[in-house]
């Protein structure tokens, strides 16, 4: 049975610390673009923390929501791609193939979550920062679209390692950078096709909901809304 | 008269294009790659041209390493020189210390051994081996040796008959067709995400 990767986000646990954002940038060689380009909406964050203020001062509450690619089963970004750069894998990942991408940006326009990013420039790292680039992940060039991959390099590495040790993949073997770095364990990643995995158990809860679910995108990221009054 | 009738519209159009281009320049221009930064951009147009047509310079090795002699003596590729290939993504290149473990005693009078002993090992330098194979950055290929070795793919399938030659040369073209052909034959995964990520 093929794997089906899913992520559960517990908004009760999320403190909005931003460790996931930092870890994601480091893991996936995501360039920073500087304040001028960021002001033009060209900043790239495969995962971002949305902030919501509720109430009137001084009685205000702050809520956080980490948002990454929802790896939709019915992804709006896929049918609009003229080159099949954005396509669905057997394991339910919404894959982006940089080699095929010709930069039409239709996918980013179709995505209701704003989680696809375009390389407007060739990324630049001041030396010696280029030595910290992750060798397991491509460094994308100008003119391609990129987005959260659920750390597919770690998924592949985990599968290769399990096969080398002649065993089945165990729950928790694979952790994307965001889930690994989350200090409050708000992000839980795993195989949703395995009924005993932590993520499957969480997904069975009636509390869980997908982001903008009524659009029919069938996201593979499940959010658990806050139920404590902080 | 006929000449100037054609001449002026062209000049005006040219001026309009230049003016438009000047307006566009309000956006900051990405800085050109320099020695102090790393970028995915090609350094020169020539570099981009060569990569597009797959033209690569032959690597120049520090010594003419004779692969054939070592294989004849009973060594194998993954014995000690490229041992990282067995359980890792990259095969690796041997350090000068690796050479000297045997060549402290064996064939010490040969000119190539003298070179590495005197010019490198004695000075504490390592051999500046040059990579022969490898994918370009824009190929976005992440290759891992280990699963291929476990699947018992012979080294020569992808690297040619290095065992019969002296210095390693690029003899096999690592095109996508070459990879996919074998993956289909062996029922290996063929999804894009297997290699391109």
pLDDT of B3 reads: 54
Tokens describing residue A164: 């080398």
Distance CA B113, CA B65 (A): 10
User: Helix, strand, coil: what percent of chain A each, to 5?
Assistant: 20, 20, 60
Phi, psi for B33 (deg, rounded to 5): -60, 135
Looking at the fold, whether B82 and B124 belong to one and the same domain comes out as: yes
Distance CA B128, CA B95 (A): 9
Residue B171 lies in a domain: yes
Looking at the fold, whether B37 and B82 belong to one and the same domain comes out as: no
**Any chain B CB within 8 A of the CB of A123?**
yes
Looking at the fold, whether B35 and B130 belong to one and the same domain comes out as: no
Number of structural domains in chain B: 2
Cα radius of gyration (chain A)? 18
**Any chain B CB within 8 A of the CB of A90?**
yes
Contact A127 B30 (CB under 8 A): no
Alpha-carbon torsion A190, B143, A101, B193, what sign? negative
Looking at the fold, whether B135 and B39 belong to one and the same domain comes out as: no
Q: What are the pLDDT tens digits along chain B (197 aa)? A: 455 566 666 667 666 665 555 544 444 445 556 778 898 888 889 988 988 888 888 889 998 999 999 999 889 898 889 999 998 899 989 999 989 999 989 988 999 999 889 899 899 899 999 989 989 888 999 999 999 999 999 999 999 988 888 888 888 999 999 999 999 999 999 999 999 99
Looking at the fold, whether B16 and B84 belong to one and the same domain comes out as: no
Residue B151 lies in a domain: yes
Nearest Cα to Cα of residue A118 among A219, A66, A46, A26: A46
Lowest-confidence range among A27-36, A164-173, A200-209, B161-170? B161-170
Contact B193 A36 (CB under 8 A): no
Looking at the fold, whether B73 and B48 belong to one and the same domain comes out as: no
- B103 is in which domain, residue-wise? 67-194
Domains and CATH numbers, chain A: 5-224 (3.30.70.20)
Given a contact cutoff of 8 angstroms between Cβ atoms, the answer to whether A110 and A135 are in contact is: no
Lowest-confidence range among A111-125, A126-140, B1-15? B1-15
Cβ neighbours of A129 in B, within 8 Å: 38
Residue B61 lies in a domain: no
Contact A124 B39 (CB under 8 A): yes
Q: For A160, name the nearest residue in chain B, comparing CA atoms only.
A: B147
Q: Alpha carbon A208 to chain centroid distance?
A: 18
Predicted ipTM? 0.85
Give the CA distances from residue A146 to residues A79, A98, A174, in Å, rounded to whole numbers and listed in that order: 16, 8, 21
Cβ neighbours of A153 in B, within 8 Å: 142, 197
Cβ neighbours of B31 in A, within 8 Å: 124
- Report whether the peptide linkage leading into residue A58 is cis, meaning its omega lies within 30 degrees of zero: yes
* Mutation for testing the A interface, residue in B26, B39, B143 having most A CBs under 10 Å: B39
Contact B147 A122 (CB under 8 A): no
Chain pair A-B, CB pairs under 8 angstroms: 90
Looking at the fold, whether B87 and B181 belong to one and the same domain comes out as: yes
What average pLDDT does range A188-199 have in this prediction? 94
Residue B62 lies in a domain: no
Tokens describing residue B33: 């790659």
Residue B134 lies in a domain: yes
pLDDT of B18 reads: 54
Give the CA distances from residue A168 to residues A3, A131, A175, A188, in Å, rounded to whole numbers and listed in that order: 11, 34, 16, 20
In the predicted structure, residue A1 carries a pLDDT above the cut 90: no
Q: How many CB atoms lie within 10 A of CB B91?
A: 20
Distance from CA of A207 to the nearest CA of B (A): 33
Looking at the fold, whether B6 and B45 belong to one and the same domain comes out as: yes
Residue B57 lies in a domain: no
Burial of B163 (0-12, 13-18, 19+ CB in 10 A): middle
Given a contact cutoff of 8 angstroms between Cβ atoms, the answer to whether A156 and B197 are in contact is: yes
Looking at the fold, whether B143 and B100 belong to one and the same domain comes out as: yes
Q: Please report which residue ranges of B25-141 form alpha helices under DSSP H.
A: 45-52, 67-72, 96-103, 111-115
Contact B191 A90 (CB under 8 A): yes
Distance from CA of A15 to the nearest CA of B (A): 31
With a CB cutoff of 8 Å and minimum separation 6, the contacts of A151 are A27, A28, A174, A175, A176, A177
Burial of A210 (0-12, 13-18, 19+ CB in 10 A): middle
* Mutation for testing the B interface, residue in A99, A103, A118 having most B CBs under 10 Å: A99
Cβ neighbours of A37 in B, within 8 Å: 28
Distance from CA of B144 to the nearest CA of A (A): 9
Q: Is B116 left (phi over 0), alpha (psi -120 to 50) or beta?
A: alpha
With a CB cutoff of 8 Å and minimum separation 6, the contacts of B119 are B125
Q: SS3 for A96?
A: strand
**Any chain B CB within 8 A of the CB of A36?**
yes
Looking at the fold, whether B74 and B17 belong to one and the same domain comes out as: no
Distance CA B153, CA B125 (A): 34
Q: Please give the torsion angle defined by the CA atoms of residues B166, B170, B173 and B175, in that order, rounded to the nearest 10 degrees.
A: 130
Looking at the fold, whether B45 and B107 belong to one and the same domain comes out as: no
**Any chain B CB within 8 A of the CB of A152?**
yes
Given a contact cutoff of 8 angstroms between Cβ atoms, the answer to whether B169 and B84 are in contact is: no
Looking at the fold, whether B154 and B75 belong to one and the same domain comes out as: yes
């Amino acid at each position: 049975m093929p794997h089906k990767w899913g992520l559960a986000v517990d908004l009760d646990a999320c403190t909005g610390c931003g460790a996931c954002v930092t870890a994601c940038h480091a893991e996936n060689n995501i360039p920073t673009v500087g304040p001028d380009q960021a002001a033009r909406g060209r900043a790239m964050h495969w995962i971002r923390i949305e902030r919501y203020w509720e109430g009137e001062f001084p009685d205000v509450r702050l809520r956080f929501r980490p948002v990454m690619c929802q790896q939709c089963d019915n992804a709006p970004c896929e049918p609009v791609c003229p080159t099949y750069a954005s396509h669905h894998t057997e394991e339910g990942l919404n894959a982006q193939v940089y080699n095929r991408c010709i930069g039409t940006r239709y996918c980013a326009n179709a995505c209701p979550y704003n989680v696809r990013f375009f390389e407007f420039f060739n990324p630049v790292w001041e030396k010696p920062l280029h030595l910290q680039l992750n060798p397991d992940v491509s460094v994308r060039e100008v003119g391609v679209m990129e987005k959260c991959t659920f750390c597919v390099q770690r998924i592949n590495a985990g599968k290769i390692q399990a096969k080398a040790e002649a065993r089945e993949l165990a729950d928790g073997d694979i952790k994307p950078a965001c889930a690994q770095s989350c200090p409050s364990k708000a992000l839980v990643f795993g195989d949703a096709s395995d009924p005993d995995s932590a993520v499957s158990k969480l997904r069975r809860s009636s509390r869980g909901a997908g982001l903008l679910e009524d659009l029919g995108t069938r996201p593979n990221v499940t959010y658990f809304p806050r139920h404590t009054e902080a | 008269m006929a000449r100037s009738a054609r001449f002026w519209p062209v000049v005006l159009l040219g001026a309009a294009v230049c003016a438009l281009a000047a307006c566009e320049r309000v956006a900051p221009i990405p800085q050109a790659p320099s020695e102090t930064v790393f970028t995915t951009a090609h350094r020169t147009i020539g570099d981009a041209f060569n990569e597009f047509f797959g033209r690569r310079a032959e690597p120049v090795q520090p010594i003419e390493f004779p692969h054939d002699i070592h294989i004849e003596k009973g060594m194998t590729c993954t014995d000690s020189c490229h041992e990282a290939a067995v359980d890792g993504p990259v095969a690796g290149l041997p350090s000068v210390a690796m050479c000297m473990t045997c060549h402290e005693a064996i064939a010490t009078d040969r000119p190539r051994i003298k070179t590495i002993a005197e010019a490198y090992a004695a000075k504490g330098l390592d051999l500046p081996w040059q990579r022969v194979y490898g994918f370009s950055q824009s190929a976005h290929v992440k290759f891992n040796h280990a699963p291929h070795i476990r699947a018992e793919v012979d080294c020569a399938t992808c690297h040619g008959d290095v065992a019969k030659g002296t210095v390693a040369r690029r003899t096999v073209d690592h095109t996508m067709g070459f990879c996919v052909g074998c993956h289909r034959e062996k029922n290996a995964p063929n999804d894009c995400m297997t290699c391109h990520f």
